[in-house]
Structure 1
Amino acid sequence: MLAAATMVGSPAVADTVPSFHTALDPASVRESVQYLEKTYKVTEQEALRRLELQNDAVKLDQSLRRDRGAEYGGMWLDQQEGRLVVATTKPDSVAPYVQAMPGGNVRTQQVRYSLQQLTAAKGRLAAKVGAGPEAVYLPAVSESENRVVLWERVWVAQGKTAARAAGNTVGAEADAARAAVAAEKDMVVSRVLPDPKPLSTPNVDWGYCHPLDCTGRGPMRGGLRLDMKRDDGTWGGCSSAFNLRTTGGGFPGKGWVLTAGHCMRTKTNNTPTQHNGNDVLMQHGIEKSSYPYDYAALPYVDDAAATKWLEGQTGRNRVLKYCRNGGMDSNADTPCGEQAQSRDESITGTHTLAEIKAGWIVCASGSASSVVNYPDSVDSGAGAGYLVGTRCGRVLSTDVGINTDLCARPGDSGGPLYNQADHTALGILIGNQQSRSGPCQAGELNNYAPIETITTDLSARVASKGSTFAVITTPNG
C-alpha cells in the first residue's frame, strides 16, 4: 500500500512517495485481457499492463483524496492511449504521486475545480432539489468533465404529473432545479437522463397471443399467465380460467377474471396481478382457498384496464388453445392442431357437476413453464421439459370435484377445464396428486373445482348486494 510519507500540510517530493505495484495473474483476468486484445488491438502483455494500471489506480485515488484533496480533481482511464489521466488544479502538487506509479503511463490534466469542490456542489444541489428515490432531479459528479451534472428523470416527472395532484410538486421541483443550477454558475450543467429499457423478465413477445404474452391481442381469456407478487418479493404464476360477469345489485355489469384462490393465499400485499409485466387485475378479489371452494374472482385494476382487456373487445368468451407439447402430450387426444399456433375455443355454456360424466374427453389450457424452456418468462415451477399450452384427456370420476388424467404442473393452477364437444366450461384446476415436475408421465391425476360450485358460492357471497355471478358465454357478454 502507498503510505503518506509527509507530515500533514507539508509538500510531498518524489523520493518520499514509495512506488507500489500489484502484479496480476493472467489466468485470473483472462476474459478482460481478451476483451482488450479484441477491442483495442493490443497484445496480451499490453492488455495485462492496462489491467494492472487500473488496479494500481485504485490505490492512487485513495492516496490523492487523502493527501491532496484540495487540488485533486479525479481520474479516468483513457483506453485509446492506454494511460491513466489524473485531473488536478495544481499539477505540481500531485507530481510525486504520479511519478511513483510504475511504467510512466500516467499523465495529468489541469482543471478548474477540485473533486472536493465538485462533491460539495453536488451536496448543495441534492439538498435544494430534494434528491432521492422519488425525485425528478438527481445530481452526479462527472470527473472527466470537471463539473456536476443535474440529471432530469423525465419519466418520473411524467408519472407525478399523471397523478394530477402532484402537478404543483413537479413545477416546484423544476423551479428549485433552475435556481440551484444558476447559483452554481459554471460548475453545474443540466441534462436529461435517458430512461433505461428494463432487462428484467417477464416481458416477452411471440408476435401472437401466447399463454405467456397476449398483451394487445384481444381480450383476456382462459389459459393466460397471471403473476402474483408474494410477500417475500418473489413472484408466483397461475393461469386465468374464464371471464365472469356480475348482473344486478351492487356490481351491475362488472367484469371479473376467475382463477384459483390459493394463488393469493398468504399474500397480504396489494401489488396488482400482472400478465407479462402489465398490471391487469387487483391482487385480491372475492376469494376462498379450500377445495372445492378454491377460487378467486379478481376485478380489473381500473376502468382503463377493464376496457383494454374486456369491455373494449369482442370474443369475451374465449379460452386460448396453444399446442406446444412434448413426449406423452403429443398424441391423438391433443385436438388443437398445428404445434406452436394460437387458436381460441369459444365457450357458449356451462355444465353442472351432476351433468359431467366419467369417461368424457375434456381439455385444459395453462401457462406452467420453466425458464429452461422459456428463459424470458417467470419460472412457475413446472420443471424443465414441461411446455405451456393445451392438453386433453379423460374425466376419471367426479366427487365434490372433477378428477381427470390430464397432465398439469405448478403454474397451471386456476386454468380452465372445458368440453370441446359442446363448448362448455366445466371447472378450474386446483391441483394434482403426484407433486410431479417436468414432462408428463403415465398415471397423471389432477382435480378441478366445478364451475357450478364456484359461481353458486360467489353469488351467495354477494347476495346481500343483489348480484349474481356467471361465466361469460357470448362474444359480447
Structure 2
Amino acid sequence: MRRTVVTRTGLSALLLLGTWAAVGLAPAAAASPTPAPAPGVSAGLLSAMREDLGLTESQAKARLAAEKTATAVEGKARRAAGSSYGGSWFDAADGTLAVAVTDEQKADAVRATGATVRIVKHSARQLDAAKSRIDALDAPDGVSSWHVDPKANQVVVNVVAGQKSDNDVRDFVARARQTGPVTVKETAEAPRTFAAGTVGGDPYYTGNVRCSIGFSVYGGFVTAGHCGQAGASVSGWDGSYIGNFQGSSFPGDDYAWVNVGSGWWTVPVVLGWGAVPDQLVRGSAVAPIGASICRSGSTSHWHCGNVLATNETVNYSQGAVYQMTKTSVCAEPGDSGGSFLSGDQAQGVTSGGWGNCSSGGETWHQPINEILGRYGLTLHTA
C-alpha cells in the first residue's frame, strides 16, 4: 500500500508541476554487471517482458528491435502489395513482418521491403467486407467478438464456450458464415468493461466510478468512453477537481477525453507502478499483430503480452464496440481507460476484456490514433 501511495503522489507531482525530469524516468545505475539495456529501453521494461512473455533479456532486446523494424516496414509492404494485400502480422519466430498477398506476382516487390510473404486466397478487402456484413447483424450475448485474422485468412467469430449451443448463438454463427470465409473459436468468458466503484487513492473518478488515465494530450487526457458521459466532472486520486469530460462515445466506440485545469498539467509519461520506471511516450506508431505490448492501470498496474488481433468488434452487454485491438494482456476492474504501450509508442486506452491478472485473460483497447483524429487532439510526446 505504501508503494502505491508513493507512486500516485509522483503522478500528482507530474500533473501539478508539469515536469518529469526528476521522477526517475531512466533506470538507476546498476551495481551489478547486468548488461545495459538498448538505447531507449528501460531495464524495467525488459524485466516485465521476461516475466510476462518468458523472454531472456537478450531475446527481449532483439524482439523490441525487430518489432520497431516491422512497424516501419508495414506501410511500404502494404503499398507494394496493392489490391492483393491480405493483411500483416509480426512473426515472432523469425523476427520479421509477415505479409499475406493473393497475387504471387506481387511477392518479390513485398519481399524487397524487408517483409516475408504468405500467399493466401482472400484479400484484406474481401475479409474486411465480410466482417462489415457481420457488424450489421444483431449479436446475442453468447457471441463475444469477431475480427479479421490475416494469418488464418479468415474472419474469426468468438463464442463463449458455455453458450455455444444456445439457439441464438447458433443462428448468429450460421448467418455469419454466409458473409464469407468465417471460422468459429471459443473463449472462456464474455467480455466486460473494467470500470469500478470508488476506491480511495486512485488516478481519477467520475461519480462513483474509478477509471485510469490513458495518455496526456495537449489540454487534457484521453480515456475510455464508458467511464463517463460528456460534461461529467472528474476528480483526481486526491479528490481535487481536474476537469470535465469534453467528449465521450460508448458503445459503438469506447473513447473519451477530459480537459485538465485547476492547477493540473499534462506530461508525456505512463506510470510503471514500481514494476518498471515510469515510461516516456514518444509517438503513436501502430504495432503489428504479434508484437509485444504492455498496459498500465490503476488496479493491476503493469502487465505485458502480445497483440492478438486488430479491428475486432467486441460485443459487450451494453452494445457492440468496433475497431478494437485485442491483446493477451490481463486487466481488472478500475483499469479502464489506462494506457497500452508498445515500446515507447502509445497504442490505445483500455476498454474491457475477460479474466483477471491472477488466472489470465484477454483485454481490448481502443486505438489512440482514432481518438486523436475524432476529437482533433495532439498526443503529448517527449
Give the alignment's TM-score, normalised by structure 1. 0.29
Structure number having the greater strand percentage: 2
Larger relative contact order (C-alpha < 8 A, sep ≥ 6)?
2
- Kindly name which structure, 1 or 2, has the bigger radius of gyration based on alpha carbons: 1
